[in-house]
Homo-oligomer: A and B are copies of this chain.
Amino acid sequence: MSKQTLNDDTRGKLEHVSTATICTALYKRGLRNQFIQDVHPLNPALGNMVGPAFTLRYIPSREDLNPVSVFENRAHPQRKAVEECPAGAVFVIDSRKNPRAASAGSILVARLMKRGVAGIVTDGGFRDAAQIAKLHIPAYHNRPSAPTNLTVHQALDINVPIGCGDAPVFPDDVVVGDGDGVAIIPAHMAAEIADEAVEMTAFEDFVTEMVMEGRSILGLYPPTDDRTREDFVAWRAKHRR
């Protein structure tokens, strides 16, 4: 299913554009709320995280339903979701913006990495954050949190539409993470946004180069001067972009 929404071409493009550029492209289409608020990368050196969303929904935990022994049940939604998340997908958790207990820890994240999952995001917090930061899988959270998830979270639903950091996330929406955080692209417009973002990135790289050479941003960014548009054409030719 994920393949349909995110082919290799689109994935490849999204690996080299920023969430800032994506958010502007979405803004032009009237979508203002696709950035997951207040999550941060644990391992920012890994490069962009890209993949279709696979979701997990938590609700507040009730004490009688959440002894430590619940994990002995192989059908427990948190553990089940970790084993079912498709390779190449991004595992996105609705923790109700509550980082007072962990959304997951290093063992589950390591398992996701081994299974080929493309990344993990929670609007809560991870435990064992220093260990996760060393794993080769992008991970985003609000802040570290040592208490077991059972303390405030109860895993309930797998791969349903959720909220994460005030953004709507539907299964198979395309998730992109970089140093700024995580953006959600509605599945049906992923290819279109990727194309536009690649174009915008070329222009922004050109602008950055011009700015570093001392040019004013007026007339350059946006390119209201004819000269800017001409220079950009030349720059693209020169850089084959």
Contact = CB atoms under 8 A, between A and B. Distances in A.
A79 to B, nearest CB: 6
Contacts of A146: 18-20, 22-23, 35, 178, 180-181, 183
A63 to B, nearest CB: 5
B19 A79 contact: no
Contacts of A145: 35, 180-181
Contacts of A144: 40, 179-181
Given A180-B145, A207-B107, A218-B79, A161 B59 contact: yes
B147 A27 contact: yes
A29 to B, nearest CB: 8
Nearest to A212: B110
Interface string A105-140: 111101100100000000000011110000000000
B28 A222 contact: no
A162 interface: yes
A196 B34 CA distance: 31
Task: Say what secondary structure dominates the interface of chain A.
Answer: mixed
Contacts of A30: 30, 63-64
Contacts of A35: 100, 145-147
Contacts of A129: 179-180
Given A27-B150, A167-B60, A208-B107, A83 B216 contact: yes
23 contacts: A20-B127, A20-B128, A23-B146, A27-B68, A27-B150, A28-B68, A31-B62, A33-B61, A35-B100, A35-B145, A59-B162, A59-B163, A72-B224, A74-B219, A74-B224, A79-B218, A83-B217, A107-B211, A107-B221, A114-B211, A114-B212, A129-B179, A146-B180
